[in-house]
Amino acid sequence: MSKQAAVPALAVSVRELRNQPGAHKHVVQRGPVPDMTTPVAWVEPDTEVTVDAEVESVVEGLLVSGQVRVMAKLECARCLRVVDRELLVDVQELFALDPREATDDGYAVLPDDRVPLDAMARDAIVLAFPAAPLCRPDCAGLCQQCGADRNLTDCGHEERAIDPRWAALADLDLDASRSGENGDGGPGGRGSEAPTEGPRRQAKPSGSPPVNDDR
Ligand SMILES: [Zn+2]
Ligand SMILES: [Zn+2]
């Protein structure tokens, strides 16, 4: 019985669009799409995916343009909490009328004149999964020493975010700023040179007009 699930969940009849370039219709299809899982993001098997798209008959086949929408599960890269996140993905794919002329992605109209939208939806959603999801932009993450969730508790451990080598660089920056404070004469000298160039350039045009006026 369950093997009948091999029938595409999101398939819409487009018989009236075949070989009618310019004809189009709006389709909204909902249904579960299996096999959308990466180590940090996934869609539950029973979660419905929505495809809201315009199907247009073109010379090369059928052009499907619209949006794929689904509620995905994301595991925060910092605190490992799993959060729900709605994904909205724009899609535009060409479906060949003849499976033998299918695109690189393998999109083609089925023999019964239906467009299978599940593979397109799956590809779009999996590509839209973030590589390093965050539960929120300012997630404080887990303590590197005791593993406590810093969003929930303050374990009191110092955050050792600064690598010792970076700390050395910070010392160099401090030294540089100190030398800048001591060398007030340097910046002052540059500042005094810049203004003198301006007046000189302006003096030349102001001197030449009287000569022209005399002639
Ligand atoms: Zn988090
Ligand atoms: Zn801690």
Report which bound ligand comes closest to the CA of 152: 1
Please give the distance, rounded to the nearest whole angstrom, from the Cα atom of residue 161 to the centre of ligand 2.
Answer: 13
For residue 37, report the distance from its CA to the centre of ligand 2, in Å. 32
Per-residue pLDDT of 45-95, as tens digits, reads 999 999 999 999 998 899 999 999 999 999 999 999 999 999 999 999 999
Taking the centre of ligand 1 as the mean of its atom positions, its distance from the CA of residue 143, in whole angstroms, is: 12
- DSSP readout, 7-45? S-SSEEE-GGGTT-TT-EEEEEEEEE----B-SSEE--T
Query: In angstroms, what is the C-alpha Rg of the chain?
Result: 32
The ligand placed nearest to the CA atom of residue 160 is: 2
Is 35 exposed, middle or buried (CB count within 10 Å of its CB: 0-12, 13-18, 19+)? exposed
Q: Contact 141/132 with Cβ under 8 angstroms? A: no
Q: What are phi and psi of 98, to 5 degrees?
A: -115, 120
Average pLDDT in the chain: 80
- Residue 165 Cα to ligand 1 midpoint, Å, equals 27
140 CA → ligand 2 middle, Å: 12
In tens, the pLDDT along 106-145 reads 899 998 999 999 999 999 999 999 999 999 999 999 999 9
The answer to whether 32 and 10 have CB atoms below 8 angstroms apart is no
